[in-house]
Amino acid sequence: MSFIIAIDGPAASGKGTIARALARHYGFHHLDTGLLYRATGARGGDPVRAARALTPEDLDRDDLRSAEAGQAASRIAAIPEVRAALVDFQHRFAAQEPGAVLDGRDIGTVICPDAQVKLYVTASDQVRAARRAAELGADPAEVLAQLRERDRRDSERATAPLKPSPDAVILDTSTLSIGDAIAAAMAEVERLLPR
């Protein structure tokens, strides 16, 4: 059985950076599941058909990181049939040996409820907006408004809303450097990794 690390959290909390670092350290596969929703939105047309037709090549598009792609993703991510169409791919990815790290919104709650490690990475919305604005070279106030809108939509939707799994360890990175955040996440994995 493969070892699964599920990392969820709101936008720009640091979950992707932590997920990549853990995957590199342990030699596990890594999937940024946000890309599935971003790529589905970017295909355009009927979102349910787009989700069903998604190919791994779609995840390599270089326009997926924009704020617009993020907003489009969160709108189509509220559609239950879109989410259902993306489940198999995530399950197959998670089953890869020797292990997999998946980051998103519903990994610990819906996609991999039996994951050996569940982390919920968060930070204040001001801090998250400042980080994302620095990455995109955008205005922090504008990014903050967009981020709040997206978090609200993700948390309030009926299907697979953003929320910590009751058994997730909460990691608030508001005052942590990225190195300290990775170290804290790794300490949690070390505690649960079979030796």
Residues making contact with ligand CDP (CB under 6 A): 9, 11-17, 33-34, 37-38, 70, 73-74, 77, 104-106, 131, 135, 150, 154, 173, 176-178, 181
- Smallest separation (angstroms) from ligand CDP to the CB of 194: 26
Token pair, residue 145, equals 């408004």
Token pair, residue 100, equals 């997999």
- Smallest separation (angstroms) from ligand CDP to the CB of 143: 10
Q: Consult the annotation and say whether 124 binds a ligand.
A: no
Q: Consult the annotation and say whether 47 binds a ligand.
A: no
Q: Which is closer to ligand CDP, CB of 13 or CB of 165?
A: 13
Helix, strand, or coil (residue 73): helix
Q: Which is closer to ligand CDP, CB of 99 or CB of 122?
A: 122
- Smallest separation (angstroms) from ligand CDP to the CB of 169: 16
Q: Which is closer to ligand CDP, CB of 67 or CB of 193?
A: 67
Residue with tokens 């997730």: 168
**DSSP secondary structure code for residue 118 in this structure:** E
Q: How far is CA 40 from the centre of its chain?
A: 15
Q: Consult the annotation and say whether 2 binds a ligand.
A: no
User: Which amino acid is residue 63, in one-letter code?
Assistant: D
Q: Consult the annotation and say whether 159 binds a ligand.
A: no
Q: Consult the annotation and say whether 14 binds a ligand.
A: yes
- Smallest separation (angstroms) from ligand CDP to the CB of 63: 13
Nearest position to ligand CDP, beta carbon: 34
d(C-alpha 174, C-alpha 9), whole Å: 13
Q: Consult the annotation and say whether 41 binds a ligand.
A: no
Q: Which is closer to ligand CDP, CB of 3 or CB of 19?
A: 19
Q: Which is closer to ligand CDP, CB of 51 or CB of 99?
A: 51
Q: Which of 122, 107, 134, 154 is nearest to 4 (CA)?
A: 107
- Smallest separation (angstroms) from ligand CDP to the CB of 195: 28
CB 76 within 8 A of CB 82: yes
Q: Consult the annotation and say whether 12 binds a ligand.
A: yes
In this structure, the strands spanning 169-172 and 99-104 are unpaired
CB 18 within 8 A of CB 7: yes
CB 162 within 8 A of CB 105: yes
Residue with tokens 């990691």: 171
Q: Which residues are annotated as a binding site for ATP?
A: 9-17
Q: Which residues are annotated as a binding site?
A: 9-17
